[in-house]
Amino acid sequence: MKRISLLLFSASLLCIIACNKKEQPIEVTSENMHQAIDKVVEVMIHDIFSPVVASRIFVYPDIAAYEIIAKNDPNYNSLAGTINGLKPIPNPIDTANVNYKVSALIAHLELSKSLIFSEDRITAYQDSLYNTWKKTNEKEFEKSKEYAMQVVTHMKKWMDTDNYKQTRTMPKFTVNTDDPSRWQPTPPAYMDGIEPHWMKIRTLAIDSAAQFKPIPPPEFSMEEDSQFYKETMEVYNVRNKMTEEGDDSEEIAIAKFWDCNPYVSVTKGHLMFATKKITPGAHWIGITKIACRKTNTDFNKTVFAYTKTAISIFDGFISCWDEKYRSNLIRPETVINQYIDENWKPVLQTPPFPEYTSGHSVVSGAAAKTLTSIFGDDFAFDDDTETPYGIPVRSFSSFNNASTEAALSRMYGGIHYRAAIDVGLSQGQTLGEYVINKLSVMTNKEVASTSVK
């Protein structure tokens, strides 16, 4: 009898412990969001997405997560009606059992999976996370997931109207071989021009792709007194000076740090393969993570920071690509090899699209302005974004300081003329300021950068 009573007592105790355990709320931190972003970046590198397509993969999941946290946090407001075509997300059916942070992260992961190829790489991380949450509070997890999937369905309908699918079937870019000023494919892969129709993608915060149309580039001319010739010779001479200084020069370190070219082709014997790197947008998303970690930013503000920055990057690429395929300017490598020195090579491999304006300059200017609006003017940080690729840490006194170096790196890399760098940086900064003003509705008040994690 005593044994039966003891067994009943033990069973009751285990039941109480199990029940109490299930009632624990699921904890979601900013690190969970960082890990989700890191996993998406890892897949992007593996799948080799172009810089512009990568910006799309970042932005939609971020917006979905942001819209969910805005439903339950009075500090943040929905972007519906502010960014182009977005309508309010649905309300949860069972508000009492929804953990909005859990829903936000699930929506982010699910949308990310729909935008990449190697879904299994995200699924493995996702399953691990879900199993932990189920053990903590199964009911809360299931209700939160149910709501997340409602939002995912809503976001996919909006996402599918951005003209991306239509651009997949549009014709390839036609190279104009009759005009010496026009872009031509560059070695070693001589790839076709990447995403020649990207300017037709729906913008988010800006009104149109041409809203921040820059001044035209210097007119093509190999006359020694022309601006174009002078800028070409500047690229040529800077590279030659770096060669004399050796591979450990500061300029080469800067060029390689900001390379961010996912299309680098390597030839060994009869084999050609691609080395995998992050894109310019991914580098700035990495800087966003660094800023959030340094300020111990909470989950909601982390989502806010990623979303606001991703929107600036996304619109920045559309604005830049609109000009690239309008001016369709030839790259320095092609000009120098044809007219000056057939053996000359840039430090960096020339990316496969027209020269003007510099994409890295545009998105760096836009991202830096956006991050400054969140974390402040004199935000010093150590940028370790490139360490996984064997590139050492660089330190910056501010986001704008980093963006200036990122833009100048294109000169040191030998892939852009001065005009594309200076005008591109200004283009991005002006666009970034516009996006900041447009998205000022996101917050009801200033959210402290030292929010508790």
Q: Per-residue pLDDT for 31 more than 80?
A: yes
* Inter-residue contact 107 to 38 (CB < 8 Å): no
What's the pLDDT band for 76 if we cut at 50, 70, 90? very high
pLDDT tens digits along 394-430: 999 999 999 999 999 999 999 999 999 999 999 999 9
Give percent above pLDDT 70 in the chain. 90
* Euclidean distance between CA atoms 421 and 66, whole angstroms: 33
| Torsion angle defined by CA atoms of residues 410, 413, 418 and 421, in that order, rounded to the nearest 10 degrees | 0
For the whole model, what pTM was predicted? 0.93
pLDDT tens digits along 345-386: 999 999 999 999 999 999 999 999 999 999 999 999 999 999
* Inter-residue contact 86 to 157 (CB < 8 Å): no
* Euclidean distance between CA atoms 88 and 77, whole angstroms: 11
Contacts 24+ apart (CB under 8 A), 336-345: 336/232, 336/235, 336/236, 339/222, 339/232, 340/232, 340/233, 340/236, 341/236, 344/236, 344/239, 345/414
Q: Report domain extents, the chain.
A: 27-164, 176-442
Rounded to an integer, the average pLDDT of 166-186 is 97
**For residue 360, how many other CB atoms are within 10 A of its CB?**
33
Q: Which H or E run contains 8?
A: helix 2-22
More confident residue, 432 or 446: 432
Q: Mean pLDDT of all residues in the chain? A: 92
* Inter-residue contact 155 to 65 (CB < 8 Å): no
Q: What is the CATH number of domain 176-442?
A: 1.10.606.20
